[in-house]
């Protein structure tokens, strides 16, 4: 029986996974239930495999934004189908990962990857998927790339800022390329056909 894939707008079932914690050099555990108790956002950053080529560039790029994402109330967990032991070895050997401090999640059975629809049955690997889960456990953002296209952490930060803003301003909506301080939209009868005017300074 196939597991249900979680779609944007749905609640994410609680899950746990073992981690390698680069900040301490120890093994640990990530629990969505714990993140919700701590009122934290969760960012899951799936990638195909340790000791590959595009992956360390992505994780290094994400590492540059980790502190900014934490200040927005988010915990970041990178995830692949490798074990926590392979994560430790890769982090130790790959110089691009020197600044990675966020937990590295292990999903060797592919259970979590299947839950988010990024598991590739032909390879046993996860596609490049980025998912943002709200403090209440709702999936609010989903991005999936194929193996050969790396992501940009700047856009992840922008989406996280927008989602954090909308959490406290649910009556508003963020237009394309929105950044904090820029105009938002308030859907109404008056706004229909007049978005241009609403965005003018």
State residue 27's pLDDT score: 98
Q: Are 45 and 79 in contact (CB under 8 A)?
A: yes
92 vs 117: CA distance, rounded Å: 30
Q: Are 70 and 103 in contact (CB under 8 A)?
A: no
Supply the residues annotated as catalytic: 55
SS3 193: coil
Superfamily of domain 16-151: Glutaredoxin (3.40.30.10)
Indicate left, alpha or beta for 117 from its phi (over 0: left) and psi (-120 to 50: alpha): left
pTM: 0.95
State residue 1's pLDDT score: 41
Tokens of 197: 């005017």
* Domain range summary for the chain, segments of one domain joined by +: 16-151
State residue 80's pLDDT score: 98
State residue 2's pLDDT score: 55
Positive/negative CA dihedral, 120, 159, 63, 75: negative
**In terms of DSSP bridges, do strands 74-80 and 41-46 run parallel, antiparallel, or are they unpaired?**
parallel
122 vs 98: CA distance, rounded Å: 31
Q: How many CB atoms lie within 10 A of CB 44?
A: 29
pLDDT tens profile 25-54: 999 999 999 999 999 999 999 999 999 999
Tokens of 171: 């009556």
Which H/E stretch holds residue 30?
strand 26-31
Low-confidence ranges of the chain (pLDDT < 50): 1
């Amino acid at each position: 029986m196939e597991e249900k894939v979680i779609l944007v707008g749905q609640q994410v079932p609680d899950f746990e996974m073992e981690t390698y914690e680069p900040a301490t050099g120890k093994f640990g555990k990530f629990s969505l239930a714990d993140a919700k108790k701590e009122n934290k956002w969760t960012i899951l950053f799936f990638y195909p495999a340790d000791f590959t080529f595009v992956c360390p560039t992505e994780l290094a790029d994400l590492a540059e934004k980790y502190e900014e994402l934490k200040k927005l109330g988010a915990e970041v967990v990178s995830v692949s189908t490798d074990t926590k032991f392979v994560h430790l070895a890769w982090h130790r050997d790959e110089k691009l990962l020197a600044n990675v401090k966020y937990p590295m999640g292990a999903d060797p059975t592919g259970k979590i990857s299947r839950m988010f629809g990024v598991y590739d049955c032909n390879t046993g690997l996860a596609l490049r998927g980025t998912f943002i889960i709200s403090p209440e456990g709702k999936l609010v953002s989903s991005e999936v790339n194929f193996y050969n296209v790396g992501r940009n952490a700047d856009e992840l930060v922008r989406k996280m800022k927008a989602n954090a803003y909308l959490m406290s301003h649910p009556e508003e909506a963020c237009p394309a390329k929105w950044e904090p301080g820029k105009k938002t939209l308030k859907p109404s009868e008056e706004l229909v056909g007049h978005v241009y005017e609403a965005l003018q300074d």
